[in-house]
Structure formats: structure tokens, C-alpha cells
Amino acid sequence: MKLTLALGLGLLTLGFAGCNKSGPAAEDDAGVIKVGEFASLTGGSASFGQSSHKGTVLAIEEINAAGGVLEKKLKLITEDDQSTAGQPATIARKLISQDKIVALLGEVASSKSLEAAPICQQNKIPMISPASTNPKVTEVGDYIFRVCFIDPFQGTVMAKFALSKGYKKVAVLTDVKQDYAVGLAEFFKKHLVEAGGEVVREQKYSTGDKDFKPQLTSLKAAEPDAIFIPGYYAEVSLIAKQAKMLGITVPLLGGDGWVGDSLIKVAGDALNGSFLSCHFSSDDQDPVVQEFVTKFKAKYGEVPDDMAALGYDSAMILAEAIKRAGTTDGEKLRDAIAATKDHKGVTGVITLDAQRNATKPAVILGIVDQKFQFIEKVAP
Amino acid sequence: MADQLLELLQQIINGLSQGSIYALIALGYTMVFGVLRFINFAHGDVFMLGAFAGFYLGPKTLKIFGGGPSYAGAIAVLFVAMALCAVIGMVIERLCYKPLRDRPKLTVLITAIGVSLFLSNGGQFVFGAEPKSFPEIITDRLIAIPPAWGRISELTITISQVLVIGVTLVLLFVLTYIVMKTKLGMAMRALSFNPVAAQLMGININVVISFTFGLGSALAGAAGILTSIQQPSIDPLMGVNAGLKAFVAAVLGGIGNIPGAALGGILIGLTEALVVGYVNPTYRDPIVFGVLILVLLVKPTGLLGASEREKV
Amino acid sequence: MFEKSKIILFVVIVACGVASPYVSGINPYYYDILISIGINIILAAGLNLVNGYTGQFSLGHAGFMAAGAYASAWLSLRFGYEFGTSVWATTTAFVLALLAGGIVAAVAGLLVGVPSLRLKGDYLAIVTLGFNEIIKGVIQNAEPLGAQRGLGGMVQHTTFFWTFAFAALTVYVVLSLVHSTYGRGFMAVRDDEIAAEAMGINTTKYKVLAFVLGAFFAGIAGGLYAHFKQFIHPEGFNFMKSVDVVVMVILGGMGSTLGVCVAAALLTILPEVLRYVARIDALPEWLRSIAENRMILYSLLLIILMLTRPQGLFGSGAWKKKKA
């Protein structure tokens, strides 16, 4: 049939045409170092992507204002993956082969990082994820790094803390749509039980949910000493509010996903008496943090959240590594990143370990009078 | 035993209050379908716009009433949002659906999907993707149940929950009254039976259709405000999921049937609460759809829907 | 004519095979786009059979793609090594996994097709949407399939050859069916189901056949996708993905296979073109930020298309007719 023939020929032409193209020649950017970024700037995960993007951009601007790296400015090439699966792979390929980036920053969501990581690994382009916590991400290969905690650490921190406060019977409410929350919950439970605690009941919800009263009602009936909610602030703020409405008075425990502007704004006094582990709090009086918060507020008119801070640190660590390596050569850069030690980041003093994950102390904050209060620092 | 019974009762209350929200949104869907025979996918996004209208205009409106949360102020915010959404709904209809009145249903359906995507993504673009905290327009409190009632007093119901259920009922009655007892309502019913004949009878269908859309959208706006009182975290994508559930509710109850929409909403709300509380929250959405499919298998036009006779 | 079409199909497949090694060497970004085009052609052509030719409004195509993707990925990961490591072995394993994925998807199509028998139009749309959610829900709760974390680690078996060979095959099958008595049956169901029944046409058979075939091809597409991106996640097969495929079918013109193939290619390339537009410094800022927000443009495209040319690029006038 004519149709199939036409199609066939058309595709072949495309194919051969493609052979000859090798993409636009590297632009006349002899004076810049190109760094790629991929994030969800639109779509369902946009609030995280936009946050980390803002932090990253701030870092790059700061670096360039101070003269850049290796006497060149950093050029950030950002692509939006629209919170859609399938896009990270395409974007990674584009940034690497078309834009000729030297390194890739991204992504917040582990599932998106997992899509792009094999491509970076294959092409020997270092990738630094600001916030993907699924252990599998850095297992993809030695070119893949991350600047955040991994699940086992944070989960254990909170479990230890819970037990230290005497909360032996803990209920767990997990956001099953997020790798991050699932991983955290898993390790929390494991450690809690190993150390003599008890998980009295578990419930689940999904990102984007607005009503948690059914789950909370069920958890309340189990009479826990505390409830562990390792999710993100958008839902946690509502959960706290509804928990209070349902007459739940026990403390709520959480992880770094709680850090967000709207957390206390929405929850009001419902979070008083609760605790969370994190690496960043905009109320942390550490000068490094306060400086970052001030600059961020000046540029964006809002208080940074965890994602923004991590985005910032990921870019800073990359820049530092380029300086130390003295080159943007893939292998040498990779080695330099891997050697990152005691980097004074906004999210803590960061050292990248042998598995290319960040070791840094966790900070436990309490919420008192609708404000964050530093409780203790937990070393890895 | 009493504990389990209490837990069940609490879940039922949860289900009823969430279900009323679905019912309220579903009313708008079903009305538009009843009159125009098409499903306005963008309805859920009008719900979202209502919530944002409350966010941006709420504080100013409250100032007129003395600044802080108050019932009078809240009602004012409600009306403002409803009015705004009514206008938005009518504009959308005029721009996007009117030119397609004579086209096959599928075309309009796709257009509606387009409008929905435009509103939600546009919302992300204009409002920003991060969740915003909805201003407090009433002081929400637990209703204290007298201890004399025994263990029942352990249940928690809040004012906002009662408010939502109450307002939904009121609007349900108002809507039914409008449709059944007013001239405009009669015109709407005539239009749903046979648009051409209705025109021949001298009914200005443009006016009726605009009115229908305006009314439906106003309801969505009201739902937006009521929801935000209970769940004060709003974001541009909040309409997508709620809209979908409400759509299921409307279909479940028999699309085109007003009491059916309310019934469907309540059923979906209860199902969700019970599945989440007793089965597994990750099965919530699949089970809700499963229930829908089962009902449609037995009653293809929904629970209260009239069987449609197709003329040959 | 029967023989001629088979020869053409054979020639195209061989040509794909010959070109494949050369094509694999091109810029990986363009390669990615090319493979995506092929996969989308399979999806769109399959859906066109259901929506376009048979008039059954299915909004759940991504569910079938998911079924095929996960089935083939799981089989590949679980049994792939048992075949051995030679090229023949891995290729056979891959193809078998693909076909298995297609069959699983076809079974899903059967399960969806059956309830569809009693439902029409908007009701059918929402039921198919429901099935999409249910399939997604099953995957999200299945630990062996990675649940919410996604499933990764697949070897990149998908090549230009396999993608376009299957694309050619899909187009061939669809067109052959459509130009046969089956096609008459499909279109009769679309045009007027009651009249078709009155004429003695077994509408059940045609509706179910359309669903099953459409689902089978979606499953193949899913398998190809899984073995190309090497990582799959349940959210990648949600309602939005289904809408994507529906838009391709609408844009191409329901009932025109050539149209949907062209539309599939166009809509795959469009987001990438917009990426470049957003980068062009010469354009004003507001225009660029709109280009960055592809979804806004996409939705506008949809609305304008429906308002001005609902029959799509190549569609038959049937969709423009005004109802009496």
C-alpha cells in the first residue's frame, strides 16, 4: 500500500538525515562552563522543582558575581521535565549531546533521577541530585552523587529520638506516592522495632490528598504515643490541622520534607509540640544559613524551603569541585566531587562518602509557639 | 466493641463531610450535563478558581466586616467567589463551547479537557505552584457534644464539617426549586428534552445555557470556599482530583439527575472513608472506580438515572 | 493488492533493519525523539482503531501501555538472563517479552471491552478512565513491580529497527483490517450502532476486537518504551498520558491512519521545538515563558483545534457534520 511505502521511505529519510546531523556545533561559548539542570517546573511536582531551581539559580548567580569558576562564568541550562516520566531521559540526552554540559544537577524526585542517572553514567557526566533519597540512585554508578540524606539515616535518627522521648508505641502515616516517605518510614519502623519500640498501626495517603480524617481516625483508635509522618509539608500541614480537630494530642514526628513556608501557616498551632529531623531550617541562627535566607528573600521575596537549600548546596558543591579539579574533564571532575569534604553548606557540613551519599549531621527541631526551635544535632 | 463502633461512626462522619464536597461539585456537573448533554471537564478547575478567589479577595472582603473571621464575612466571601465563578463559567461557555453547539459531543468533550488543562496549568503559571494558605474566614472549632450522650461525645465534628453538609443541603434544595418551580428552570428542562423544540417554543437558549453554566459554576465556586475552610492548603492543581471524583459521583448517581449527584457524592465520600480507614488507602481510587464500573454494569445510566431511550 | 501490501511491509521492515545500525549512531537526543515517535505511532494507530474507526471513546489507553510495559519489563528482568548472553538469545528474550506484554495488555483490553458493550459516549469514557486508574492502582500496590518506586534496570534492547518494524506492522494490521469487511463492521458500529445491529452485524464482536487489538499494540508500545527509557513509573501511565494519545488521534483526524501517524510525529517533536523557542534570546520574555510552559500551549492548541478544525489534519468530514 502506498501508505506503508510512504511511511517507510519517510522514516528512512529521517533516519539518514539524522546520521548526518551531529547537533548544532558547540556554541561559541568558549568563555563559559555549561552546567545542566533538570527539574519539574510545571506539573504535579512543580512546587518542589521550582524550589530547588530557585536555590540552584541563586547559587549560580552568586558564583558568577564572584568571578565564576576557572575564570569562566557558569551557564546554567535548565530544562523542565513537566513532572512527566519519560522526559528526564530525553532531557539528559539533549543536555549531554546537544548542549554539551559538563555536569548535571537534578532531580528532586528519585524516580526522575533514576531515569536520567544511567544516561549520565554512560556518558561519564557527573550528576548531583539535590534531594533524591532512594538509595538506588547513587547505586547506578560512580558518576552519580547526592547532597541529601538517604532514607536509612534519617529514619533511624527519628526512631532513636522517639524512643529517647519515651514514645514506644508509634503509629506511622506514610505518603505512599513518594519514594522518599516510603523509604523513611521503612527505616524508621525497622529501627524502632529493633530498639524495642512498637509500630501500633500504619496508615497511608497520597501526595495531593486533602482529607486525612479517615486515616487519622484509624490511627487515633490505636492509641499511639506519637505519630510519625515522613511526608511533605503540603500534606503534613493539613494532617496536623485535622489531627488536632479529631482530638489527637500526641506529638507528631517528621522528616526534612516538613520544611516549607506553608507548613506552619496552614497548620497554625496544631503543630506545637511536634518534632522533625532535617538539615535545614530558615530559623537556624547559623550565619551561613541566615545569609542564604537573606539573599533568597531578597531575590525571590519568600523564605526558602528544604528543596531550595539543597538546590543551592548542590550547585555550590559542583562549583567547588570544578575549582578543585582545575578542569571540567569528566573523570577528574567526578573525582573532585567525590572528594568533597566538610563543605560548609546551607544544609549542614557536607562530606560525600564512598557511596557518594552525603554524610552530615541531622538537626532535630521542635515546634513551639508556631516557631521552630533547635533541639539537638545528631551526627551520622 | 464500643471502640470499634465509635471508630466506624467517626469514619462515617468523615465520609459524609468529604462526600458533601463532592456532592456540591457534582451538582454543577450534573446540571450542565442535564441541560447540554456534555461533561464539562473544566468544572473541577472552576472549583479551584473559587478557592483562589477566596484567597485573594477574602482578606479584603473580611475587612468590610470588621477584619477578623466572622460568619457574616464568610458568607460575603462565599458570595463573592460564587459570583466570580459564575462569570468565569459563562465566559468559558461563550468562548469555547457555544461555537461547538452543533458538533458531535466528542469535540466539545475534548475542548473541555483543553480548557481544564489550560486553567490548571495557567493557574500554576499565574499563581505559582506552591500551596498557599487559605485565610481563616471563620473560626473553626470542635462542636462539643454534651458528655451526657455517653461515649458519643468522643466523636469529633467540627463546625466546618456541619457547615459543609448544611450548605450543600441548602444549595441542593435551592437548585431543585429553581429547576422545578421557576420559569427559568422549566426552560432548562425543556432544553434538556429537546433543544430545537424549546427554541420553537420561544425560549432563548443562549440565555438559558449561560444561566445554567453560571449556576453550575457558582456551585463549584461555593465548593471551593467550603473546602478551603476545612482544608486550608490550596494549589492550582487541586481541582483536577476533586473534579474527577465529583464527576464519578455525578455519573454514579445518574448524570442529569440532581438528587442523584448528591447521592453519588455522599456514596463516594463514604466509600473513600471506609476504604481508607479499613482496607488500604492506596486502593482508594481503584475501588471508587471499581464501584462505579459495577454500578454502571447493572444500571448503565447510574443509580437514579432515567433509562435513555434512543430514538432510531 | 493483497500480495502487494505484504511485499511493501516486508521491504519497509528490511529497510529498517538495514538502517538501524547507522541510525543508532546519531545524536542520542535525536535518537530519543525518533524512538519516541515510533512508539507514539504505535499507540496512536492502535487507539485510532478504537476511537476513530469504531467510535468507542476510550480515555484509558495509557493503562494498556502500562500493562505491556510492566509485564515485559518484569519478564525481562526476571527471566532475561536465562536465555543466555548471545545476541540471538537476548534478542529472542526481548521479543518474547514484548509479545508477552502485548498479550497481557490485550487481556486487559478484553476486560475493559466487555463492560463497554453496554455503555456509550461519556459513560464509556469515564469507565475507561476508571480502568486506567485501576491498572495503575494495581501496579502501585505490587511490590515485585516496584510499586511507587518504579521499576528500573531494563537493558536497552529497543532499537530503531524494533520500534519501526513494529510501527510498520501496526499500521499494516490496522489498515488491512480497515479495508476489509472488518473495517466495514467497525465503521458501521461507529456510524450507527442500532442500524448496524438491525443489519445483523455483531457489534459486540467488533467493539471487543477493537479494544483488544488497540490494547495489544499499546502493550507492545509499552514494552518498547520500558526497554528504551530503562525505567518506568506508574505515574508515567496516568490519565494525562492517555489524553496525550487521544490528542494525537484527534489532531490526526479520527479514522485516518496516515493522519494519526503524522500527528504522533508532530506532537512528539513539538515539545522539543518549544524547548528551543524558549531559548531564543531574540524573543520577548513573555513569549519565551509561555513556550516554556508547554502544557499551556498544548491546551490552547487543543481548544483552537477543536474550534476551527475538529476533523483534524486528515480526518473525514464525518466529524464536521452538524447534527440535524
| Choice between B208 and A45, residue whose per-residue pLDDT is larger | B208
What backbone phi and psi angles, to 5 degrees, belong to B19? -65, -35
Average pLDDT, chain C: 85
Residue B24 C-alpha from the chain's centroid: 3
Residue window 153-192, chain C: list those with CB within 8 Å of chain B.
none
Residue window 125-164, chain C: list those with CB within 8 Å of chain A.
140, 147-150, 152, 160, 164
C-alpha distance from B294 to closest chain A C-alpha (Å): 24
- CB within 8 Å: A217 and B10: yes
C-alpha distance from C119 to closest chain B C-alpha (Å): 6
Q: According to the model, what pLDDT value does residue B218 have?
A: 93
Mean pLDDT value of segment C90-104: 91
Helices (H) and strands (E) in chain B, counts: 11, 2
* Crossing angle of the two packed helices B43-64 and B238-253, in degrees rounded to 10: 120
Residue C230 C-alpha from the chain's centroid: 18
Average pLDDT, chain A: 85
The pLDDT confidence band at residue A61, using thresholds 50, 70 and 90, is very high
Q: According to the model, what pLDDT value does residue A29 have?
A: 61
The residues pairing with A269 across neighbouring beta strands, listed in sequence order, are none
Q: How many other C-beta atoms are found inside a 10 Å radius of the C-beta of residue C61?
A: 32
Contact status, residue B191 vs residue B205, Cβ threshold 8 Å: yes
- CB within 8 Å: C141 and B283: yes
Instruction: Pull the grid cell for residue B151.
Output: 461515649
Read off the pLDDT of residues A324-358 as tens digits, 9 standing for 90 and up: 988 888 899 999 999 988 888 888 888 898 888 98
Residue bearing cell 486502593? B283
Least confident range of A19-28, A307-316, C313-322: A19-28
**Residue in B36, B45, B102, B103 to test binding to C, most C beta-carbons within 10 Å:** B103
DSSP B142: B
Question: Would you call B107 an interface residue with chain C, using a CB distance cutoff of 8 Å?
Answer: yes
Strands A362-368 and A275-278: antiparallel
Q: According to the model, what pLDDT value does residue B307 have?
A: 64
| Cβ contacts of A97 on chain C, cutoff 8 Å | 27-29
User: What are chain B's partners, defined as 3 or more CB pairs within 8 angstroms?
Assistant: A, C
Using alpha carbons, list the distances in angstroms from residue B141 to A138, B158, B233: 48, 6, 18
| Cβ contacts of B140 on chain A, cutoff 8 Å | 245
- CB within 8 Å: B286 and C137: yes
C-alpha distance from B51 to closest chain A C-alpha (Å): 13
Q: Up-side HSE of residue B229: CA atoms within 13 Å toward CB? A: 31
The residues pairing with C203 across neighbouring beta strands, listed in sequence order, are none
Judged against a pLDDT cut of 80, whether residue A26 lies above it is answered with no
The pLDDT confidence band at residue A10, using thresholds 50, 70 and 90, is low
Average pLDDT, chain B: 85
Q: According to the model, what pLDDT value does residue C117 have?
A: 78
Candidates C22, C32, C261; nearest CB to A93: C32
Contact status, residue A91 vs residue A81, Cβ threshold 8 Å: yes
Question: Would you call C271 an interface residue with chain B, using a CB distance cutoff of 8 Å?
Answer: no
Percent of chain A topping pLDDT 70: 92
User: What are chain A's partners, defined as 3 or more CB pairs within 8 angstroms?
Assistant: B, C
Judged against a pLDDT cut of 90, whether residue C207 lies above it is answered with no
Contact status, residue A66 vs residue A325, Cβ threshold 8 Å: no
Read off the pLDDT of residues A199-250 as tens digits, 9 standing for 90 and up: 999 998 888 888 888 888 889 888 999 999 998 888 999 999 889 888 899 9
Read off the pLDDT of residues C142-184 as tens digits, 9 standing for 90 and up: 888 887 788 888 888 888 889 999 999 999 999 888 888 888 8
- CB within 8 Å: B103 and C129: no
| Cβ contacts of B33 on chain C, cutoff 8 Å | 122
The nearest alpha carbon in chain C to B105 belongs to C121
| Cβ contacts of A206 on chain B, cutoff 8 Å | 281-282, 284
Residue window 239-258, chain B: list those with CB within 8 Å of chain C.
244, 247-248, 251, 255
Judged against a pLDDT cut of 80, whether residue C204 lies above it is answered with yes
Candidates C127, C138, C303; nearest CB to B118: C303
Candidates C127, C136, C322; nearest CB to B102: C322
| Cβ contacts of A261 on chain B, cutoff 8 Å | 130
Judged against a pLDDT cut of 60, whether residue A18 lies above it is answered with no
Q: According to the model, what pLDDT value does residue A310 have?
A: 93
**Residue in A96, A101, A111 to test binding to C, most C beta-carbons within 10 Å:** A111
DSSP string, B143-211: PPPPGGGGGGGGS--BHHHHHHHHHHHHHHHHHHHHHHHSHHHHHHHHHHH-HHHHHHTT--HHHHHHH
Read off the pLDDT of residues A79-122 as tens digits, 9 standing for 90 and up: 989 888 889 999 999 999 988 999 999 899 888 999 999 999 99
Mean pLDDT value of segment B105-114: 84
Question: Would you call B125 an interface residue with chain C, using a CB distance cutoff of 8 Å?
Answer: yes
Judged against a pLDDT cut of 50, whether residue A2 lies above it is answered with no
Candidates B108, B251, B312; nearest CB to C123: B251
Candidates A41, A93, A182; nearest CB to C148: A182
Contact status, residue B36 vs residue B209, Cβ threshold 8 Å: yes
User: What are chain C's partners, defined as 3 or more CB pairs within 8 angstroms?
Assistant: A, B
Mean pLDDT value of segment B57-77: 81
Judged against a pLDDT cut of 60, whether residue C317 lies above it is answered with no
Residue window 2-21, chain B: list those with CB within 8 Å of chain A.
3-4, 6-7, 10-11, 14-15, 17-18
- CB within 8 Å: B99 and C307: yes
| Cβ contacts of A89 on chain C, cutoff 8 Å | 32, 228-231
Q: H or E stretch including B113? A: helix B105-127
Candidates A6, A42, A97; nearest CB to C293: A42
How many angstroms separate the CA atoms of A134 and A78, rounded? 23
The pLDDT confidence band at residue A315, using thresholds 50, 70 and 90, is very high
For residue A359, give the 3-state DSSP assignment: strand
C-alpha distance from C307 to closest chain A C-alpha (Å): 26
Candidates A1, A14, A182; nearest CB to C34: A14
Read off the pLDDT of residues C260-302 as tens digits, 9 standing for 90 and up: 999 999 989 888 888 887 777 777 777 777 777 778 888 888 8
Residue window 45-104, chain C: list those with CB within 8 Å of chain B.
57
Cis, peptide link before residue A107, omega less than 30° from 0: yes
Judged against a pLDDT cut of 70, whether residue A65 lies above it is answered with yes
Judged against a pLDDT cut of 80, whether residue A280 lies above it is answered with no
C-alpha distance from B107 to closest chain C C-alpha (Å): 6
Q: According to the model, what pLDDT value does residue C323 have?
A: 43
Q: According to the model, what pLDDT value does residue C201 have?
A: 84
Question: Would you call B67 an interface residue with chain A, using a CB distance cutoff of 8 Å?
Answer: no
Judged against a pLDDT cut of 50, whether residue A15 lies above it is answered with no
Read off the pLDDT of residues C219-249 as tens digits, 9 standing for 90 and up: 999 999 999 999 999 988 988 899 889 888 8
Question: Would you call B12 an interface residue with chain C, using a CB distance cutoff of 8 Å?
Answer: no
The pLDDT confidence band at residue A321, using thresholds 50, 70 and 90, is very high
The residues pairing with A277 across neighbouring beta strands, listed in sequence order, are A364
ipTM for the complex? 0.82
Contact status, residue A4 vs residue C9, Cβ threshold 8 Å: yes
Q: According to the model, what pLDDT value does residue A21 have?
A: 38
- CB within 8 Å: A19 and C231: no
How many angstroms separate the CA atoms of A93 and A36, rounded? 11
Its pTM stands at 0.86
Question: Would you call C233 an interface residue with chain A, using a CB distance cutoff of 8 Å?
Answer: yes
Question: Would you call A1 an interface residue with chain C, using a CB distance cutoff of 8 Å?
Answer: yes
| Choice between A364 and B309, residue whose per-residue pLDDT is larger | A364
C72-100: b (≥16 Cβ within 10 Å) or e: bbbbbbeebeeeeeeeeebeebbebbbbb
Q: According to the model, what pLDDT value does residue B231 have?
A: 84
The residues near A4 (Cβ < 8 Å, ≥ 6 apart) are C5, C8, C9, C12, C168, C171, C172, C175
- CB within 8 Å: A261 and B130: yes
Question: Would you call B176 an interface residue with chain A, using a CB distance cutoff of 8 Å?
Answer: no
Read off the pLDDT of residues C165-176 as tens digits, 9 standing for 90 and up: 999 999 999 988
